[in-house]
Amino acid sequence: MAEETTGAVTRWDLSASDLPATVLNAAAGGRVFLLPDSYVDGMALYRDDVAGLIKTLRHRGVDIDFACGREDRRYLSEYGATEVVATIGIAVATTLTTDLVKSIVLTAWQRARSSLGPGCPDEEVGEACVTVKAAEIVRGENETVIRGLEVTGRLADIENLIQAALADPARAELPPAEADSAAPEDTTR
């Protein structure tokens, strides 16, 4: 009997002003960008476990980078494991594909694994409740479309939830979350 997937899928409303210029100006392709956990006074804040996360994911074949340059980011270690696992923000400069979804899921798994510790059994990691926020930035001839997807559920269910959302015809019919007619470099508002 197949295991039931449970969770919630919603639109993540964001605009060009919510994303770093590095992401908006990135060449279309399969690179995944790890978004900051928050901002304070214009500085991107990442949790302190992400430097190792990025290296691990690159080693495992994921084309991933920080959404913010080294000079624009700081690391904090004042979070508990539950907070670290809770939300992960990702952006891609293309439409979400099956391969990109697999990279996003692997990123979420590695983030949970590093947060919960190497001694945590895979079953417990899979049971962790997470929220994955994925932004896709697609540039057309005259516009840039930014669509966001927010998926919350057990980590073991995240891939199925994202794939189901991407396959849902109603999602394709939704108007884009944001369409900017300005060139990607001109993102000031």
Residue with tokens 């907070």: 83
Distances (CA, A) of 151 to 76, 78, 118, 147: 25, 25, 25, 13
Contacts of 156 (CB under 8 A, 6+ apart): 126, 127
Distance from C-alpha of 132 to C-alpha of 155, rounded to nearest angstrom: 9
Angle at 54 between CA 48 and CA 56, to 5 degrees: 110
Task: Give whole-number Cα distances, 90 to 34, 43, 114, 117, in Å.
Answer: 5, 18, 17, 22
Q: SS3 of 105, please?
A: helix
The pTM assigned to this predicted structure is: 0.80
Q: Give the contacts of 183 (CB within 8 A, at least 6 positions apart).
A: none
Query: What is the pLDDT at residue 154?
Result: 93
Model confidence over 61-102: pLDDT tens digits? 999 999 999 999 998 876 555 555 678 899 999 888 899 999
Q: What is the pLDDT of residues 178-188, one digit of tens each?
A: 444 444 443 33
Closest of 38, 118, 41, 122 to residue 86, by C-alpha = 38
